[in-house]
Amino acid sequence: MKRQRILLALSGASGAIYGLRLARELARRDVELTLTATPSGRLVCREETGLDLSGDPVEAGIRLAGHLGLKTAIRVVAPDDLFFASASGSAAPDAMIVCPCSMGTLGRIAAGISANLIERSADVMLKEHRPLLLAPRETPLSEIHLENMLRLARAGARIIPAMPAFYHQPRTLDDMIDFVVGKILDQAGFENSLYRRWSD
């Protein structure tokens, strides 16, 4: 059986920990995972988590795996590599997730702008009717933000805001992070037990 190909992108919104936790969970599954991050996404990741994703992509993949406690490196690609497979409709990944998703990135995707690998890959996912999951992390939301999210939802994207819940009675910060990551995995079609489900 062919391994599912997942493209995970980190943009410049706060909340890099969500993307890294998601990368760890996906890497533990039998998927072909590729990660890319915008320049501002790399800066935010370093500021918030201490992980440096800059420089040579191969070395960044090794650092990423070490940070996540994984034994094998994760493939990292440069955000301006428009020759990477996901930039072509004939080689689109099975799913793409932008987590965290800045309102700038979300707005450019909504406008059909394809200036970098993340934007072009998202454009490909929409035109090929493949799963595109966006995890915006912003507050408060302006009318422009809301209109862009509605436009993308109507185009087929799934909007999963980074909004922790409390019905599962989280006790730690990890519990709150895992709730959001679990919700994203749910929408991507991956079974998980990262949070306690609601039950009678």
What token pair was written down for 53?
A: 């994703």
Parse the chain into domains and list their residue ranges.
4-188
- Full-model pTM: 0.96
Instruction: Please tell me whether 153 is known to bind a ligand.
Output: no
- The reply to whether 103 sits in an annotated binding site is yes
Q: What is the pLDDT of residue 71?
A: 93
Asked whether residue 183 is marked as a ligand-binding residue, the answer is: yes
In tens, the pLDDT along 33-90 reads 999 999 999 999 999 999 999 999 999 999 999 999 999 999 999 999 999 999 999 9
CATH classification code of 4-188: 3.40.50.1950
Q: Does pLDDT of 1 surpass 80? A: no
Residue 104 marked ligand-binding = yes
Q: Is 12 annotated as a binding residue?
A: yes
Tokens of 60: 């960044």
pLDDT of the residue at 191: 95
> What mean pLDDT is reported for the chain?
96
